Structure 1
Amino acid sequence: MKPMDLTILYRGPLASCDYACPYCPFAKRRDTPGQLRADRAALERFTAWAAAQTGDRLSVLFTPWGEGLVRSWYRRALVELSRLPHIGRVAVQTNLSCRTGWLADADRDKVALWCTYHPGQTPYDRFLGKCRDLAELGVRHSVGIVGLDGHLDDARRLRAALPEEVYLWVNAAEGHTYTDEEAGRWTALDPLFPYSRRPHESAGLPCRTGESVISVDGDGTVRRCHFVRAELGNLYDGSYRRALGPRGCPLAVCDCHIGYVHLETLPLYDVFAGGVLERIPARRPSPRSPSVPERSLERQ
């Protein structure tokens, strides 16, 4: 088979989280012991598959509904995959509530964390301390926050405390419409916030998902991305490979960073060159607001 350079977004059945964020449907959700065993088995199967794909070059982003790094099998997967020569990057979305010492065993040129600070769920000093641990370990990471009015002072405080080279991103709050004045306050912290402020029209537009980027669930079902339910095949029988190819987006809009970052009509592969999975820009973003294509809609 022809070698591939493939980015995989993996989301297994894990849906439990140790936080109770009011804007998250999975807050304080608990998985049963059986569900946790199933998630562990699914992740170990995926990790074994990825390790065996020595003829391809893979990059992996774990995007669990819940918090993965409080589970030993996610920490182990990141360490093991980071040390394989055909893995270009392995990253995970996390609330950073876990310990950090285990990262010393990972290849820190390849492992990366996409960290979200949730005010009210963890003490500020504890979260900042975890960020400092990552910096001392030399682990690539970005830090972010949801752009709610009540989070603004926390975000400003965090930006002032983090090293300049650590990117602080801001996600537009689900269902929230921002006035220009409100958006300006968030853009002052994250010059790339205008990309998150409004959903992007995507219908029929070229997107890397389904060609060089795929989504995989715990059963190995492959889809072009997390937001399109049509199946391309299965990871473990190789049937997905025949379905890979360029294709336009079938949805009207795309409003999540892990989706629209792959749209070819946006310049985000250049903005995040070398750090697409962990959301780290190639250069420190300019305070001047980026030019966002007009194919975007005000959040309803």
Structure 2
Amino acid sequence: MNDLYVLYRGPLASCNYDCPYCPFAKKVDPPDLLRADRADLERFVGWVTATTDRRLSILFTPWGEGLTRSWYRDAVVRLSHQPHVARVAIQTNLAARTGWLADANPQVAALWTTYHPGQVTRERFLARCRELDTLGIRYSVGVVGFPEHHAEAVALREALSPGVYLWINAAEGHVYTSEEETLWTALDPLFGDSVRPHPSLGRPCHAGETAISVLGDGTVRRCHFIKTPIGNLYDGSWRAGLQPRDCTNSRCDCHIGYVHLKPLNLRDVYADGLLERIPGLRPGKSLLQIQQRPPVSDRQA
């Protein structure tokens, strides 16, 4: 069965946090937009359920916080029980309750979580993580690598279960000294993939071939960062739109984009944890060994 990674983003843009670095902080969506977002998501879930000739892996990447909305929780649970869905994951700040995940298939459902110091106490965030541990739900935890967040990130790493991967996103606009990069890499051996934008123009990418980005109205793009449509889910034109492609952007600096660049070989690094950002460690291989793979310039396209 052919594998297809699908990143879905509906019109939802509201969030319960007001992070100073986020343009969607504390945004409130009007009722008509929420109704439209719910209808769009339910239509998408219907498409996933009916599209059984592909093995699908779904990542919800809402601009806002999705898990405070019942329809996103329902979608994760429902899709986790579809036999042709290999993974369903969502990016979340983990502010919402987690008990609903008891109804999900823990072999399929997963969370990409982010800890935001200043928006929630470390103790409250860690309590949510312990709930996920009890439920047996796969999850990663991330922090934006601002200098003022480093002490919190260290404390978080010490308190998390040893098997939980802690990733660090390079802060937009911050130039890291070699000393800073070393400090963050001690927490996340894969930080080097985030700290420098990846040259991508003309480089082959899985996006548009075995990975797509979908908007609420069904518009299919190769990825979130190239706006040209390649088809639509609901008229079937997405099928003809899938083909090998080289990137048309000069660089790629977001994980959900560059993870699909073929020269980086990051699908081998993350394996079945690709969507929830959990490295797939094979027997006898450590994150340190993954970190020591050849630099991007030395990897073959």
Q: Normalising by structure 1, what TM-score?
A: 0.96
Q: Paired residue for 2:83?
A: 85
Percentage identity across aligned positions? 61
Q: Paired residue for 1:212?
A: 210
Matched, 1:48 2:51: no
Of 292, 297, 300, the match for 1:294: 297
CA distance in structure 2 between the partners assigned to 1:204 and 1:9 by the alignment: 22
Q: How far apart are residue 287 of structure 1 and its match?
A: 7.8
1:202 maps to a residue whose letter is S
C-alpha distance after superposition, 1:50-90 (max 9, x if no partner): 10112221110000000000000000000000001010100
Q: Paired residue for 1:298?
A: none
Q: Paired residue for 1:30?
A: 28
Q: Paired residue for 2:134?
A: 136
CA distance in structure 2 between the partners assigned to 1:177 and 1:288 by the alignment: 24
CA distance in structure 2 between the partners assigned to 1:258 and 1:84 by the alignment: 24
Of 142, 151, 154, the match for 1:153: 151
The 8 Å contact of residues 225 and 259 in structure 1, kept in 2 or not, is answered as: yes
The 8 Å contact of residues 187 and 289 in structure 1, kept in 2 or not, is answered as: no
The range that moved more, 50-59 or 140-149, is 50-59
The alignment yields a C-alpha RMSD, in angstroms, of 1.4
CA distance in structure 2 between the partners assigned to 1:192 and 1:266 by the alignment: 12
C-alpha distance after superposition, 1:106-164 (max 9, x if no partner): 00000000000000001110000001110111000000000001100000000001111
More helix by share: 2
1:285 maps to a residue whose letter is L
Q: How far apart are residue 267 of structure 1 and its match?
A: 2.1
Of 99, 112, 119, the match for 1:101: 99
1:150 maps to a residue whose letter is E
CA distance in structure 2 between the partners assigned to 1:175 and 1:261 by the alignment: 21
Matched, 1:278 2:276: yes
CA distance in structure 1 between the partners assigned to 2:296 and 2:63 by the alignment: 30
1:292 maps to a residue whose letter is P
Alignment of 1:234-245 (within 5 A): 234-245=232-243
Q: How far apart are residue 288 of structure 1 and its match?
A: 8.2
| CA 1:104–1:288: 2 relative to 1, 3 Å | closer
1:293 maps to a residue whose letter is V
Q: Paired residue for 2:224?
A: 226
1:267 maps to a residue whose letter is N
CA distance in structure 1 between the partners assigned to 2:268 and 2:146 by the alignment: 28
Give the 3-state SS of the residue equivalent to 2:179 in structure 1: helix
Q: How far apart are residue 30 of structure 1 and its match?
A: 0.5
Q: Paired residue for 2:115?
A: 117
The 8 Å contact of residues 143 and 168 in structure 1, kept in 2 or not, is answered as: yes
The 8 Å contact of residues 9 and 61 in structure 2, kept in 1 or not, is answered as: yes
Gaps of 5+ in 2: none
C-alpha distance after superposition, 1:7-39 (max 9, x if no partner): 100000000000000110000001001110010
Gaps of 5+ in 1: 296-300
Matched, 1:15 2:13: yes
C-alpha distance after superposition, 1:159-218 (max 9, x if no partner): 001111100000000111111101010000000000000000000101000000000000
CA distance in structure 2 between the partners assigned to 1:152 and 1:5 by the alignment: 38
CA distance in structure 1 between the partners assigned to 2:291 and 2:150 by the alignment: 18
C-alpha distance after superposition, 1:272-293 (max 9, x if no partner): 0110000001125118843431
The 8 Å contact of residues 194 and 292 in structure 1, kept in 2 or not, is answered as: no
1:223 maps to a residue whose letter is R
